[in-house]
Structure 1
Amino acid sequence: MIDMRPSLVLVLVIAVLVGTGVYLLLERSLTRVLVGAVLLSNGVNLLLLVAGGAAGRPPLTGDEGPGPSSDPLPQALTLTAIVITLGLTAFLLAMAYRSWQLHRHDEVQDDVEDRRIARLAARDERAFTDADTEADTGRGRSSLDEEAAELHDDTDEGTRGGAR
């Protein structure tokens, strides 16, 4: 029987990498977001490899007897995650560089619309009225459910062959 328990050091390293990565992802600086994404990715890659179990024989070498072989799935997932992280890193570096060129900092700024919606949410007010879902019988408009019931299906006889 193979011992499948990971070492405590690996578990602590994974926890620190993931925790630090999530903390840095919540920052406003694109450089910190970049470092956070890389740390989070490395932590998840280690988690995938540790979850894959103990190392064994190579999985695709032929018939070498009844010994335990390695599971190739965690290795394939880790390689895929490395490629995706490389693409994300390149994209975040390009965004940070462009932000530095334009503004001489890489801080993500609040949008005016975001601030307006945050103020409305603090006062518990709606940002807009949704005329599609609310019944407004005063002006002759019906609710969305009533309008949907009145519409015809595109598969009716009169609409076949492109005639509308």
Structure 2
Amino acid sequence: MNKIRKANVEDAATLTDIAFKAKGYWGYSDDFMNAWKDVLTITVDDIQSKVIYLLEEDKAIKGFYCLCIETKELESLFVAPTYIGQGLGRLLWKDILQKAAEFGLSSFHFNSDPNAYEFYLKMGAKRIIYVESTVIPGRIYPFMEYKLTHLRTK
């Protein structure tokens, strides 16, 4: 059974590995992936200072997210390629919304990989503008926002 829990410092290397494999799932070149090294690396400091939760089953980590409360930014949401298409991104998204609400955020923003854009639209996020990548000059990304007012109580 899938369980979502707070990441521990011991999880940093595994989360970094998942981030690289999930980004690489889209067939990006080695040069592209190397340019993303710093952005995709999850550090001990990240785990200690940000809201990072992971989804696991039988101690196998299947995906995670990183939400920075201070900047109101979803820094990452990754599902290991083996598990893509099984609804785990949706489970993690629901947890992101719960944690954002618990921390008093009314909204949060993020840059979407173009390959994940449709997923985020389905989750209720809106594109605000297109922005140029700070990692790959000339590459354009959707800058997204999710307003927690979209949440409906039942």
Higher relative contact order (CA 8 A, sep 6+): 2
Name the structure with the higher helix share. 1
Larger Cα Rg: Structure 1 or Structure 2? Answer: 1
- Verify same fold: TM over 0.5: no
Name the structure with the higher strand share. 2
TM-score (norm 1): 0.26
